[in-house]
Structure 1
Amino acid sequence: MKKKIIHTIKILSINIIVPLLFFSCGGGSDEGESLEIPNPEAAVLIFPENNTECNEGQIINDNQSSVVFKWSVAANTDIYEVNLRNLNTSAVSKVNATANETPITIDRGTPYAWFVVSKASGTQVTEKSVEFRFYNEGPGVSNYAPFPAEAISPIQGAIVDVADSITLEWTTSDIDNDINEYEILFGTDAENLVSQGTTNATNKSNISIVPDTIYYWQILTTDIYGNTSNSDIFQFRVKAI
């Protein structure tokens, strides 16, 4: 009789423990659920201002100065990536900041373009601000070259419908507001573009094209003092018939 009683007690103990282990495992299943990370918002650029001369900053030498770049605080953002492009050389630099301003050493007497990318930890989603252009003040500069032209139509990398001709359109700006003319370079070889003449307008019509061809174009901007700037080389493709 004693053996039977002991055997029964062991069975009961197993029946009691198993349910406890089951509920213990089930209770922890929700703990690993991750919270949704909100997407960062775009910053609003403050300084240097768009299409202006930057005459603030600490002069380091005749060639460089340190300028404090400023923008608005962007919601849901942990890191701001400042993208800066030298418009004379097309060289790009990137600076990370955790606050909404940071000093950057740049060349004097040089045009730049800049924008800020907002980033957040835990998500790959980013948000880009608009792009500003400015001149960093240089020693003894009394007149500035125009900013390089930007393509409006066709936009960079566009695919256009079949046609016999096309109208090129661009935009640009100049601190001194003294642009004199634009020269249009065009062709199928980016290294050997052909001049299509000059104009005072910001467009050029009736440029001949053929189907299934890639074209390149560039705008040379000149002010009344002879200062010039070269745009990037833009590209578009005409659809095949």
Structure 2
Amino acid sequence: MTRTILLLCAILTLSLGCRKNREPKPPGQVQLVFPDKNSECTTGQSLGATTSRVTFRWQEADNVQTYELRVTNLNTGSTQTISTAATSANLPIEKGTPFSWQVRSRNNQVQESVSSEVWSFYNSGSTTSFVPFPADIISPRMSQRVFKDINNETILSWSASDLDNDIDSFEVYLSTENPPEDLKATLGANTLQLKVSVASNTVYYWSVITTDAQGNATSSGVYTFKIL
């Protein structure tokens, strides 16, 4: 009788262990390959005076059934989306225009999807003056919870890139309203952080406008954080 009970327990343990191993796993995060971050893409196949076909490539990620490529025109904000099981995809996009792109990993067995980093690039065209890439927010990141220092201040920081290497200034906006309309400072091209006064238990919105020597300007988009 004891041997029978032990045998049943062993079978039940093996059954539960196998069932646990069969639980679906979430998809992995994609590593982007091409077009390179903050670069000029010159390899597109010309489709006419205004459009070229660009091949986007990324590395294979674990537990992924489909990849969703999202390419956004930074001038208009419009986004093209394509789903594929491959690790590359072609899209026709405008020449002489800045874009951002990312890839979402999906698995039909789980609801969760995972997004890659967002890379920006400039699709080659006839223009001789490049618009600066949107500032890349470093800190505080989106929805980050932040402690103020003993002076009731926190530091906003970002990075920036321009193919012409002619960034002229940054305008930093911060307020408790969305979108932020309070201009806190206009800074030179070599200044990539700003210390600002903040209050406890308050949600803030902020953005950075990058302007180059030709007067071209781009926005980082609005980020939010909370002071604890």
1:158 lines up with 2:144 in the alignment: yes
Cα distance in 1, alignment partners of residues 144 and 64 from structure 2: 33
Q: 1:129 aligns with which of 98, 111, 116?
A: 116
Where does residue 53 of structure 1 map in the other structure? Answer: 40
Letter aligned with residue 201 of structure 1? T
Q: 1:173 aligns with which of 155, 158, 161?
A: 161
TM-score for both structures, normalised by structure 1: 0.74
SS in 2 for 1:116: strand
Where does residue 83 of structure 1 map in the other structure? Answer: 70
Residue 121 to residue 209, structure 1, CA distance change in 2 (3 Å) = closer
Letter aligned with residue 85 of structure 1? T
Unaligned runs of 5+ in 2: 1-14
Report the aligned-residue RMSD. 2.5
Q: State the 1:141 CA deviation.
A: 0.9
Deviating more after overlay: 40-49 vs 226-235: 40-49
1:102 lines up with 2:100 in the alignment: no
Q: State the 1:105 CA deviation.
A: 1.7
Letter aligned with residue 198 of structure 1? L
Cα distance in 1, alignment partners of residues 59 and 148 from structure 2: 45
TM-score for both structures, normalised by structure 2: 0.77
Cα distance in 2, alignment partners of residues 187 and 36 from structure 1: 45
Q: Deviations over 1:89-108 (max 9, x none)?
A: 33333210122221112222
Q: 2:130 aligns with which of 144, 159, 179?
A: 144
Deviating more after overlay: 191-200 vs 176-185: 191-200
> Is 1:186–1:196's contact at 8 Å kept on the other side of the alignment?
no
Cα distance in 2, alignment partners of residues 215 and 125 from structure 1: 28
Q: 2:171 aligns with which of 183, 192, 197?
A: 183
Q: Deviations over 1:160-219 (max 9, x none)?
A: 2355222211112122222222122222332532242323310012x2222333322221
Q: 2:224 aligns with which of 217, 235, 239?
A: 235
> Is 2:180–2:205's contact at 8 Å kept on the other side of the alignment?
no
1:111 lines up with 2:101 in the alignment: no
Cα distance in 2, alignment partners of residues 43 and 238 from structure 1: 32
Runs of 4+ in structure 1 off by over 4 angstroms are 33-39
SS in 2 for 1:46: strand
Q: 2:193 aligns with which of 178, 195, 203?
A: 203
1:218 lines up with 2:207 in the alignment: yes
Where does residue 23 of structure 1 map in the other structure? Answer: none
Residue 210 to residue 127, structure 1, CA distance change in 2 (3 Å) = closer
> Is 1:57–1:66's contact at 8 Å kept on the other side of the alignment?
yes
> Is 2:50–2:95's contact at 8 Å kept on the other side of the alignment?
yes
Q: State the 1:39 CA deviation.
A: 4.7
Letter aligned with residue 187 of structure 2? T
Cα distance in 1, alignment partners of residues 201 and 28 from structure 2: 40
